[in-house]
Every structure is written in C-alpha cells, then in structure tokens.
Chain A
Amino acid sequence: MSAETVSGTGLEVPSFALLIILLPMLAFPVILLLGRLFNGKDWWRGALKEGGLIALPVMAASLIASLAVIRRFIGETSASATSTVMHWVNFAWQDAATGEIQLFSMDFGFYVDHTTVMLLFVASFLCLLINIFSIGYMNTDPVNDNRNHRFYAEFVLFCSGMLGMVLSDSFLWLFIFWELMGLCSYLLIGFYYERPSAAYAAKKAFLTTRVGDVFLVIGLAMLWNLFQPHAVGGDALAYSVVFDGANLQAIADAGKSGALQLALGFMFIGAVGKSAQFPLHVWLPDAMEGPTPVSALIHAATMVNAGLYLVARMFPIFGAEAMHGAFTDLAFLIALVGGITACMAALIAFVQMDLKKVLAYSTMSQLAYIFTGLGAALWLANSLDWHHDDAAHTIVVVAFGAALFHLFNHAMAKGMLFMASGSVIHEMHHAHHDVHHHHDHDEHHDGHHEEDHFDAQSMANMGGLASKLPITATAMLVGSASIIGLPLIGGFWSKEGIIANTWRVALEDPRFFLPAILVLVTAGMTGFYMSRMWFMTFAGKPKTEVAAHVHEQTPWIPIPLLVLIPMSLSAIVFASLEATHYLGDTGSHLGEMGLLDGFLYEMEHAFANHDPFFLVLTYIAIGLSLVVGPMAAMALYGGQLADGEEAKPWLKPFVSLSARVNKRHRFDNTALAEGSLATALQERLYFDAWYDAACEKIVAGFSNLAAVFDRRVVDGAIKGIESGSQSTSRQVRSLTTGSARDYIMMAALGTLLIALVLWGVA
C-alpha cells in the first residue's frame, strides 16, 4: 500500500493534511506542561487565558489546513482519494508456498471523499468556534480556577481524535481514534471530578460506550478475518481493501455475505453506543455534567457523529453489486433503532426542566433521524439495481445524501444551541452571583440560604430572557427552527428527505412502516419540545429574580453564535447547490445544476412533488412539526414579556404570537403532568433504573462470585506464582555469590560445556 490513488484521478491528499491531526495532538502535551508549570501566574491567566489562546491558533491552523484540503477536493468528482503518509511498520518475510518475499506494512493514510469533506469541515469548524466559546465560558468560572489548562489540553486531544478518525483510511485507524475520543470524553465529562454526579456520569459514559466498543472490536475482528486473504501484506481493514468490488465479489462467491452482515451488525452496535441510540443511550443526558463547551463538542462537533460516520462508511459495502439484497435485515435494524430512539427521546424531552437535558434528548432524537435515514438509504442501496439504472441511482444517492446533509445541519444547529444554552447558563450564574451579592448588602438572609441551591440550568428559573439576551435568543430561535424543520431553514431540507425516503422504503418493504410512522410522529413532537424550550426560556415573565437581572457580558460567547446563525439560515443555499446529491454521490459535484435551477428544483421537490403520495406526506410532516407541536407548546408555555421589556423586532412576533395562543387556548396540564406517563418520562422511562437494577442483580452478583473466585483461586495462584518466582529468583541470584573466584568457576564451567558440545558435534 504505497502512496497511490484508488480512483485513478491522480488526486492525492496533500501531505500537510497531517497537520490537521498533528497540530492539536502536539498542542496537548504543550498546554498540559505549560499549564502545570505556570498555573496561577497572572500572565498565564490573562495573556494566554490559561491555555485557551494556545489552543485557539492551533485549532485555527487546523481549520485552515482542513479548508485547504477541502478546497482541493470539493470540486472534484473523483470517487475518493487515498494517500499513505506514514509507514509505521514495514517488514519483509518469505512466503513458504511461493518463495516470494512479502511485505507486511502497517500504514497510516488519508481517505478523502465527499463524506470526509463534509465531516472534516463540521469538525474543524465547530471545534474552532467551541474553542472561542470556551474562552468566554470557562475562564470566568471561579470553579475552574487553576485547571483550565487541563480542559484545553483534553479539548485539543479530543479534536485531534475526531479529525484523525474522519481522515484516516482504514477501519483500524478509525477505531484507534475512536478510542482516543472515548478516553477524552471520559476525562472531559468528569472534568468536575469532585462532584460525585460528574464522576458517575463520566464512568457511565465510558462504560456504556465501552459495551458498544466491545461489539465493534468483535465486528472489526470478523471483518479483518473476511478480508485478510485479499489484503496481502497489509492492513485488511483499509478502506481500499474493504470497499473493493472484487474483494466483495470474492466474499459473496465464497458464501460469506452472511458473516459480513454479522460483522457489520456488530460494528453497528458500536455506533449505537457512541451515538447514544436505544438501548445504549443512557449516558448521553448524564454527559451534561461536563462543562457546556464539552456538551457542544460531544453533541455537535465530534463524538456522536463518530457513530454516524461509522455507519455511513458502510455504504460502499451495502451498495456493492456483489452484495445485492444481502443486507436488508441489517438496514431495517438500523432504521428501526433510529425510529425507536427518535420517538422515545422526543417523549422524554417533553418533561425535562433542565435546559441542557432538553437539548441532550433532542440530540439523541435527531441522531436517530439520521440513523433512520441511513437505514433507508442502505436498504435502497442494497436492494435497487442502482449501478445501471439512472432513476434508481438518483433515489439511492439522494437518500444517502439526505441523511448526511441532516448530519451537517444538525451539527451546525446543535453546536449553536449548546453554545446558546451555555450563554444562558453562564449569564444566569453571573446574575445569580450579582443578586446574591446584592442581597447580602440588603441583609436578606432567608433568600441567601435558598439560593445556595439555585439551579442555573433549570428552565423553571428562567423566562422572559428574549429582551435580555438578544443574540442568544436569536441563535436559540434559529437553531430550534432548524431542528424542528421550519420550512426553508436548516434541517427542513434534510429531514423532509429522510422522512420521504423512509416512507419510500416502507412502500416496498412493509417492515419499514414502523420506523416510518415513528419518524413522522416525532416530527410533530420535535416541534413541541423545541418550542417549549424556547418559550419557557425566553418568553413570558421572568420566573425568578435572577432571571430578571441577566445580561450578556463577554464578547467571546456571542461571536460563535453570530457565525453560526447564518450557517443554519443559509441551508437553503446548500440545498440549492444540490448538497444532498453531492454528499450521496461521489460522482457528482457541488452545484451541478446551477444555483437558481437547483433552488427551483428543490422548491418544487419539497412543496409541489409530482407524486401525490409524497406531496401529502410532506404537508403532513410540515403540519405536524410546524403547527401542531409549536401550537401546543405556545398554549402551555407562551406569554408576553414583563412590562417595559422590549424584544428585538425579529423576536417580537414569536413572543406575541405565543402570548396570543396562550391566552386563547390556555389549558391546565396539571392532571397530565402528574399522570403516570409524565412520571415515567421524568424517570426517563426507567431505563436507568432498569440498568442499575440489572447491574446490581446480575453484574454485582456475578462480580461477588468472581471476587470469591478471584480471592481464592486467582489470587492464590498469583500469590503462589509470585512467591514461587521470588524464591526462584532468590535461588538464581544466590549463584551470584559476590566472589570473583566463583564467577570465574561458572564461566569455566560454561566454557567447558561449549567446548564439549562443539567437539561432540564436530
């Protein structure tokens, strides 16, 4: 596997691409070291923001290098390009059968195609923005004193893990970087390690994703076994080997496509763990224990996208001609897991009071959309004769592209939402601090005690912030609209595609009706919980005194929000540039139709579909997500701002609409809120309780048993070995008497033996 291009277009990934990964990776020890050395120094805190300003140029350089790579590839129609940049191990040996010298090499290389281009942009772009945000968020928090260098060090390592995973050219390296991210997520979620809940959450995230990782390893091992015969002297998990049509044909001919499906299925379980899908979803909400930038990082830029990326990377295998029709069961499973998670997470999000937890469940739900979309796309790729039939080809690539496009839209929106929520929490904290201070002067001592337990993340303490945090409110509004799928904004384009394609598959394979109905219903639910979050936070009157004193202060926090707002609003441009087509079809390039034609085509496709079935479907989806969900939310939580408060003109209509709906259709939901369903949702459908109970009964019981076995048998054996080896060691060393005479005698003995042996042989 020397440097070569697979597609034969002559394109090579430039070698400076290595910097994208290497710069953040090298910044890790630098920040850690400098932080350790200069912790607490004024210039370290002021001039370098405790490492934040070391991380910032590094991430910026990484983004620039990424953009340079992207620029080289974005206009290309090549299927993909790989370049080997480093030989890690090279070793030659002679083959017994043929007598040929063979080379075994473990290489690291890049693999760039349209999916890579998109994810590379998402990861490096959002990492930089989150870095900017962190400087505003982390460095003003007194809790973080003297340990922000740890945050920035782990942050850059996390980013390098994601970037490495996206760029690498083999499932093997994907796994290595995947684990690096797992480690960093553990460290970052447990950043406030002195809080038991944070330590518990970190452990939970690590262990839950670990369950998935075990399956991923099994899957990769199976994959290695399958492709080993076709990868002479190299990495059998390299994409160039795994995606090769001839190799896949050989595996199909050998009747091993069932085993391949099993391997892919196991790998999918790994993705389920990483992307927090049912039933390995329990870690994600608890991961909110980490600082908010970490939440943004995990939810938008890096970690959860890793699972999606892994499944998206399976597309060439599903789509191979050799595997025609072999993997429909797995595709259904992927869609089903997606459908169930989407609906379940949206339900739980209905009742969450914690701002970040609503977003956490929304992430889970939106990722589930993407999984469903991928499942549908994989089903289509596996069942249609898309290599020869142009119409089928379009269907498959658009289905696949829609899922990837939703990944893009969701990442942009969710990054923005988390940073906006961070902004709210940060300002709530500061306002709380100010109010608290104020009270001390006024000798309000009862209030004092109460506010020690003040929850800056609870939406029950917010309300009416639209006028106080205009940038944040706008960002939150645009982000929510994108997630809901408000026509023309952000996620609308991709979500419509996912729903339509799932239904398209359902018409062919009735099993898909279940995920198809689930995602359609979830569209309405998304409208409800996202609107609920916005109205509870920004509309109505302030629910606490603290909320009345909130205002935006540091410039570091709004900057990324201002950058991201246009990204979500301009999704229509991407859509017009045929983003779905581009992402799905490695043979196409961006803006094939031209901007205007593309726009008209998309509009027609979305709102005036010629197929009456999809036309009706679209309007049902729009109706659910735009009218039913938000209306219900407004009726419950809407309201006018406090007197004298004036929201920005573009926010005003939303606030007053909510107030009007609230006044006319107000209903009391106490009965519902105290019902058993709400309780169950509050308890997150008891998943955590079940897992805990299962752990206690099964794992603890088993571990007690194991402990006994461990003490009696294993420890006994080890102690036996230990004492045995120590006494052997003593005896052996006792031969080293310390007397030179004895040494010479031993050497003479050895000489004699050598001479005797040689004499005997000769």
Chain B
Amino acid sequence: MSEQSVPAFSSEFFGYFAAETVLLVGLVLLIVVPNLGKGTFRVPGTQARVPWFFGGERYAFTGRPDVPGYISVFVLLTAFMLLLNDLLNGWDGAATSALVHAHGDTSVRILAATPFSRLMETLFIGALLLVAVASLDRYRSTQPGAVRSVRELYNNRRQADLHILLLTCALGMSTVALAENLFVLFVGLELASFSSYVLVAFNKESKAGSEGGMKYFIVGSASSGVGLYGLSLLYLWAGTLQVDALALAWSNIGQEVLPYVALGLMLVGFGFKVSAAPFHFAAPDAYAGAASPFAGLLATASKAMGMVGLFRILLVVTLPDGTEGSAVWLMLLGILAAVTMTWGNIAALGSTNPKRMLAYSSVAHAGYMLAALTAVGVWNLGEEALSPAAQEASEAVLTALLFHLVVLVAFKMGAFLVLGVLENEGEIRDDRALAGLGRRSPLLAVTMFIFMLSLAGVPPLSGFLSKLLVIMGIVKVAAVDVGTSGASIGFLGMDLHWVWGLALLMVLNSAISVFYYLRIGVVMFFDAPAAGRDHPVPRAVFATVAITACLVGTLLFGIWGDPLIEVCRSAAAALLG
C-alpha cells in the first residue's frame, strides 16, 4: 500500500477530500442563500446604511421554500459523483491513503481515504441523496390537490433547517468512514447522530414524531455516554486513540481487565447505532414517529455507520490473531447476533404498523450483519490464522457483509420511500394505509412488493444474493475451522464450528421473516382500500425518481452483482490490510 500523507488544509487536502469540501460549501450555501434579502448595515457612528444583501426582506427567488432542497440535492449529487468516480477509477486494486498530519514532527493519521472508506462514504452520501430527492416532494408547497394544512406551511418554512441537517449528517457520516482515530470517529458519529435525532422529531406538530425523537435521543445519548466512557477507559489503558497504535497495543495484551471492559462498553455504544438487541428498544418508536424517508435513513446509512465503528474496533483493533484469549468478543458477538435476529423477527411477526414492522426487520438484519462479523473474526482464529488463505477467506466474508450493507440501501430505503409517498395522505399507523394499493397504484404496489421480496431474500433480487453470500461465507467458515479452535459442535455426524449455528439460525429466521414480508403483499393486493384512502395515490414526481433508483439497484445488483462485489472485495481488502 503506497501512502501519501498530506498536511491539513493544504491544497492536496481539498483534492483528496473533495466530496467533504463540497458538502461544507453546500452547508454555507444553505445558510446564506435562503437569507439573501434587502437587509442593510448601518455604518457605526453614522446614519449611513450600506446594503449588504443579507437579512431583512428576503428576495422572492432565493427565499422560495424549495430552493434549499435543490441546493442540497445538487450538493449531495456532486459529492456522490465525485466519490463514485474515485471509487471506480481511483484504485487499481492497490490502496492509497491520504493522511492528515498534525503536531510537529510526529505525523498522526487522522483521516484516511482507502477503498473501504470511499465505499462507505458513497453508501452514506447515496442514501442521503435518496432522502433529499424524496424530500423534495414531501415538502413541496404546491402539491396539486393537497390541502395546505398548517403543518405543511410550517414544513415549508423549515426547508433550510431540514436540508442543513441532512448535510451535517452527511459530513458526520463521512468523517466516521474516514476516521483513523477513534476520537475523531466518535465526533463524526455524534455529529451524524445529533442530526438524525432532530430529523426524527422534525415534524414537531406530530405527537408520535416528537415522542419518538425524544426517546431516541435519550436512549441514544445514554448509549453514547457509555461508549464514550469505554473510549476513555481505552485511552487510559493505551494512552492513545489512534487505531493503528491501539491495534499494536492490543496484540501485546496481557492479563488485564481494563481494555476488555472498555471494549464491552464501546460495543454498547455502537450496538445502539446498529440497533442490536437489547439496545434497539427506541428504534421502533423512532422509525414509526419519523417521516418515512428519515426512518429509511436510520435503517440504512445510520446502521452502516454503526457497522463502520464496529469494523474499526473489532476487525482492526481487536481482530483475533490466533493467540489464546484473543477471541474474547467472538462468543459475545455471536450471542448478540443470535438474540438480535430472533428478537427482531419475532417482534416483526405481529406488528401491524408497516413502519414498526420494517423497524423490527431492520433489527433482524442487524443480527445477520453481526453474525457475519462474528464469522470474520472466527476466520483469523486458530492455526490457519496467519496463512494467506485465511486472509483471503476472511475478506470474502467481509465482502459479503459490505455487499449486504450496500444493497440494503436499495431495497430498505425503497420500501420506506414508498411508505413516504403514502404518508403524504396522512400518518401511517397500521397496514390499512397500504390496503388496496394494488388497485390504487399498481406500479407502486408491485415496486413495494419487489422490495419486500428482496428483504425476504427471494431470487433473483439483490436481497437474495447478499443473504446467500453471507450464509455461504459463514457455513464455509464453520466447515473449515473444525478443531482448530476447539469450539466445534457435532451435527449429523459432522464436526462444525459453532458459527454454523448462526447460519442455521439465519436461515430459520429468514424463513420466519417471509411471513410478514409477504403479508404486506396480501394487504396490498387483496384488501380493499381503507376509507379516505380510496382515491388514486397523490403524484410525487421526485419520490418516484428516488424509488425508481432503488428499484433499479434492487434488480440490477441481484442479477449483475459481480462488479459491485469486486468493489466490495477491494474495500474489504483495504480494511483488513
């Protein structure tokens, strides 16, 4: 890996972090442009007033409620394109990094652009772009035929706030993806989290929204506090929060309790972000209260952000290296995965509110991801640990996991965006909102059904491919690692590592989940529309564009997943070094 280090805020810095720079510029624009007006500035001590075009009576053109939306979409699109270009052309297999160094002689890696961080950034910005595009419709002032309620007018005044929050979220998430220092990572995490807390409660006129946002904020900040405490313990133990320095310290670990407790506490912090049981409780309330696109954001980008944190801690810092006792978190994570996926699925079975159902389904998906993460850890454990073969194989499982994270944006976000279109008619409290959609808008219903099938893992959709890759990876790990770790279980005469149980549980859970995903289809196609929702679905051009993009992703990556898998593979290779 050839690394190039660049000093902070040098000209190369802005080249390497062009996307983030664009986001920052966008933020400034969002603050300035809507406030342009006929404001004047009195020269102190005189009566002379100099116009400075800020404040006062706003200009009609720049003060329009839809302007912030266009700015934010443009900014996110530019950033997305820059990242995509970097992702597709920037690396020929080998990773290069851009570092920012601070103090004096010793250079410290703070942010690093690797194929991994670029992939995650692309994912984050892509998800936010979908949300921003879909929000253009949701908060349009001139919905044809829509009643201009007080709430909608409020929404229009708050346009700039909304999109500022989306961009800060983007900035925070990018920082998480790039961070090479756990503290920087934490700051980015909090920046994104705070934006998302506000986004959840953005409809402050809605009781469910403010309540859900509040609960999400309280539980979230408690978890963050615990995670930060773990971080401080880690600093106490190692004297640094640099990821590479920590990894070095961890490999020479002795009989100490402190780092393990620190690790456990940090698991809590990130566990909340990925909504792993038992830290997921606020999630269903938050998802149900938030406007659907923001719920989609929580279920995809926000979850992926938590996963990035877990990757950094578990796979970079504390990755088992074959020595006895280094796999301390494996069993723990395995249990967490099993509990999370089962809990999510069972809770989703009886949920009638589609948003709560999707929330629980996203808890279940968190369980699947944790299971894959466990398998990556198992790979590097045991006698084979340091062989290049094991290295390659652990990359394969991580590849599957990254692929899953990416395609999840397509169909999970898509499902939430479809609900977002329906939300224009009124809040969604139960599945009557979806009833008869097959008759009201066949295209929308079929699209939603495809998203559900993809979530359930039906071929040839991308949800099937990602789940298949993850399960196959885990099974292979289980079959190969026999006897080396001594943690095998016997089944039908085969000796298998216990992670095989996770794969089995994942298959069982997928089978259960088909029930509640298909029920959405039954409701849409066989039930009669509910009263008040029997007219055609209101037109939502921009949301349709976003949903179409999701649909294309869902179908395309299922059939033609190879190029994306290649990208994920190079990202995985970059992360595992």
Could you list which residues of chain A lie within 8 angstroms of chain B, going by C-beta atoms? 36, 86-96, 99-101, 104, 725-726, 728-730, 732-733, 735-736, 738, 740, 742-744, 746-747, 749-751, 754-755, 757-759, 761-762
Q: How far is the CB of A104 from chain B (nearest CB, A)?
A: 8
B322 to nearest A CB, angstroms?
15
The reply to whether A758 and B389 form a contact with Cβ atoms under 8 Å apart is no
Interface pairs A-B: 6 shortest CB-CB: A729-B350, A743-B281, A93-B476, A750-B278, A762-B260, A729-B349
Other A-B contacts than A747-B272, A757-B331, 10 sampled, CB-CB below 8 A, are: A36-B442, A89-B469, A91-B396, A99-B384, A725-B350, A728-B346, A729-B346, A732-B347, A757-B264, A761-B328
- Is residue B218 contacting chain A, with contact meaning CB distance below 8 A? yes
Residue of A nearest to B276 (CB): A750
Whether A736 lies near B284 (C-beta < 8 A) is: yes
CB within 8 A of B390: which of A94, A750, A757?
A94
B447 to chain A, nearest CB (A): 12
Q: How far, in whole Å, are A95 and B255 apart by their CA atoms in the complex?
A: 35
| Residue numbers in B under 8 Å from A740 (CB-CB) | 214-215, 218-219, 282
Given contacts A88-B559, A100-B389, A750-B268, contact A759 B260 (CB under 8 A): yes
Nearest residue, chain B, Cβ from A104: B472
Contact residues in B for A736 (Cβ distance below 8 Å): 281, 284-285, 347
Contacts of B469 in A (CB 8 A): 89, 91
In the complex the two chains form, is B560's CB within 8 Å of A747's CB? Answer: no
Known: A93-B480, A728-B346, A747-B278. A762 touches B285 (CB 8 A): no
B476 touching A94, Cβ below 8 Å: yes
Hey, which chain B residues are within 8 Å of A746, CB to CB? 278-279, 281
Does B222 sit at the interface, judged by CB under 8 A?
A: yes
Could you tell me the distance between the alpha carbons of A732 and B339 in the complex, rounded to whole angstroms? 12
A561 and B222 alpha carbons, distance in the complex (Å): 80
Query: Is B387 an interface residue, CB under 8 A from the partner?
Result: yes
Q: Which residues of B contact A730 (CB under 8 A)?
A: 350
**Across-interface contacts of A738 in B (CB, < 8 A):** 285
B281 close to A742 (CB less than 8 A): yes
**Once the chains bind, are A87 and B218 in contact (CB under 8 Å)?**
no
* Cα(A95)–Cα(B350), bound, Å: 42
Identify the interface centre among A730, A736, A742, A751: most chain B CB within 10 Å of its CB. A751
Q: Tell me whether B501 is interfacial, beta carbon within 8 Å.
A: no
Known A-B contacts A93-B480, A740-B219; A751 and B265 likewise in contact (beta carbons under 8 Å): yes
Main secondary structure of the interface of B (DSSP, over half): helix
Q: How far is the CB of B512 from chain A (nearest CB, A)?
A: 8
Considering the chains assembled together, what is the distance between the CA atoms of A89 and B558 in angstroms? 9
Task: Show 30 residue pairs from A and B whose CB-CB distance is below 8 angstroms, ordered by the A residue.
Answer: A86-B560, A89-B465, A89-B561, A91-B473, A94-B389, A94-B390, A94-B476, A96-B479, A99-B389, A100-B389, A101-B392, A725-B350, A725-B512, A728-B346, A729-B350, A729-B351, A732-B347, A733-B351, A735-B281, A740-B214, A740-B218, A743-B281, A746-B279, A746-B281, A747-B223, A751-B265, A754-B268, A759-B257, A761-B260, A762-B255
As a 0/1 sequence over residues 301 to 335 of chain B, the CB contacts with chain A under 8 angstroms (1 = contact) are: 00000000000000000000000010011011000
Bound CA span A762–B476, Å: 29
B105 in the interface (beta carbon within 8 A)? no
Kindly state the separation between the CA atoms of A733 and B345 in the bound complex, as whole angstroms.
11
* Contact across chains for B389 and A101 when beta carbons are under 8 A apart: yes
| Complex Cα spacing A116 to B561, Å | 29
Chain B residue at minimum C-beta to C-beta distance from A33: B443
Q: For residue B12, give the distance in angstroms from its CB to the closest CB of chain A.
A: 36
Kindly name the residue among B257, B279, B472, B561 whose own CB sees the greatest number of chain A CB atoms within 10 A. B279
Contact B282 A754 (CB under 8 A): no
Task: Please measure, in the bound complex, the distance between the C-alpha atom of A416 and the C-alpha atom of B194, giving whole angstroms.
Answer: 72
Pick from B332, B347, B562: contact of A90, CB under 8 Å:
B562
A76 to B393, CA, bound (A): 43
Would A744 and B346 count as touching, CB distance under 8 A? no
Which of B214, B260, B261, B480 contacts A96, CB < 8 Å?
B480
Query: Is the beta-carbon distance between A101 and B393 smaller than 8 angstroms?
Result: yes
Min distance, Cβ B433 to any Cβ of chain A, angstroms: 19
**Contacting residues, chain B, for A725 (C-beta < 8 A):** 346, 349-350, 512
Complex CA–CA separation, A104 to B565 (angstroms): 14
Determine if B468 is an interface residue (Cβ-Cβ < 8 Å): yes
| B482: Cβ under 8 A from any A Cβ | yes
Q: Bound state CA distance, A733 and B347, in angstroms?
A: 6
Interface 1/0s, chain B 442-481, versus A by CB < 8 A?
A: 1000000000000000000000010011001100100110
For the complex, what is the distance from the CA of A101 to the CA of B480, rounded to whole Å? 11
Q: What number of residue pairs across chains A and B have CB atoms under 8 A from each other?
A: 140
| Cβ contact within 8 Å between B349 and A758 | no
Inter-chain contact A747/B465, CB cutoff 8 Å:
no
Main secondary structure of the interface of A (DSSP, over half): helix
Question: What is the bound-complex CA distance between A478 and B178, given in angstroms?
Answer: 75
Residues in A with CB closer than 8 Å to B434 are none
Which B residues are in CB contact (< 8 Å) with A100? Answer: 389
Is there a chain A Cβ closer than 8 Å to B343's Cβ? yes
Chain B residue numbers with a CB within 8 Å of A99 are 384, 387, 389
Contact among B222, B325, B346 for A732, CB-based, below 8 A: B346
> Chain A's nearest CB lies how many Å from the CB of B90?
23
The answer to whether A733 and B350 touch across the interface, beta carbons within 8 angstroms, is yes
How distant is the Cα of A736 from the Cα of B272 in the complex, in angstroms? 15
In the complex, which residues 407-427 of chain B have their Cβ closer than 8 Å to any Cβ of chain A?
A: none
Is the C-beta of B226 less than 8 angstroms from some C-beta in chain A? Answer: yes
CB distance from A733 to the nearest CB of B (A): 5
Chain B residues with Cβ below 8 Å from A96 are 479-480, 482
Task: Give the complex CA separation of A17 and B566 in angstroms.
Answer: 25
Contact check, A759 vs B222: say whether CB atoms are below 8 A apart.
no
- Is B573 positioned at the interface, with any CB of A under 8 Å from its CB? no
Q: Mark B191-228, 1 if CB is under 8 A from A, else 0.
A: 00000000000000000000000110011001100100
Cα A751 to Cα B469 with chains together (Å): 31
- For B278, the chain A residues whose CB sits under 8 A away are 746-747, 749-750
Cα A725 to Cα B346 in complex, Å, equals 7
The closest CB in chain B to the CB of A755 belongs to B264
Set B264, B393, B476: member contacting A754, Cβ < 8 A: B264
Residues of B contacting A94 in the complex (Cβ-Cβ under 8 angstroms) = 384, 389-390, 392-393, 476, 480
Q: Is B92 an interface residue (CB 8 A)?
A: no
On whether A747 and B389 interact (CB within 8 A), knowing A729-B350, A754-B268, A761-B328, the answer reads no
Shortest distance from the beta carbon of B463 to any chain A beta carbon, whole Å:
14
How far in angstroms is the closest Cβ of chain B from A88?
7
CB neighbours of B79 from chain A (8 A): none
Q: Which residues of A contact B331 (CB under 8 A)?
A: 757, 761
Shortest distance from the beta carbon of B474 to any chain A beta carbon, whole Å = 11
Instruction: Mark interface residues in B255-280 (1 if CB within 8 Å of A CB, else 0).
Output: 11100110111011001100001110
Q: Let me know if B257 and A89 touch, CB within 8 A.
A: no
In the bound complex, how far is the Cα of B559 from the Cα of A750, in angstroms? 40
Residue from the list B255, B268, B325, B476 in contact with A751, Cβ < 8 A: B268
Instruction: Pick the residue among B285, B325, B350, B479 that contacts A726 (CB under 8 A).
Output: B350
The answer to whether B268 touches A747 (Cβ under 8 A) is yes
Tell me which residues across on chain A come within 8 A of B268, comparing CB atoms: 747, 750-751, 754
Residues of chain B within 8 A (CB-CB) of A726 are 349-350
Q: How far is the CA of A442 from the CA of B255 in the complex (A)?
A: 110
State whether A744 touches B219 (Cβ < 8 A): yes
Docked complex Cα distance between A96 and B482 (Å): 9
* B346 CB contacts on chain A under 8 angstroms: 725, 728-729, 732
A35, chain B: closest CB distance, angstroms: 13
- A residues less than 8 Å from B214 (CB atoms): 740
**A750 vs B271: C-alpha distance when bound (angstroms):** 10
Contact A747 B279 (CB under 8 A): yes
- Bound Cα distance from A757 to B339, whole angstroms: 15
CA A104 – CA B469 in complex, angstroms?
A: 11
In the complex where A94-B390, A733-B350 touch, is A762 in contact with B281 (Cβ < 8 A)?
no
Question: Across the interface, do A761 and B325 meet the contact criterion of CB distance under 8 Å?
Answer: yes
| Closest B residue by C-beta to A97 | B480
Give the distance in Å from the alpha carbon of A747 to the alpha carbon of B275 in the complex. Answer: 11
Expressed in whole angstroms, the Cα–Cα distance for A256 and B165 within the complex equals 68
In the complex, A100→B278 CA distance in Å? 40
Q: How far is the CA of A742 from the CA of B348 in the complex (A)?
A: 20
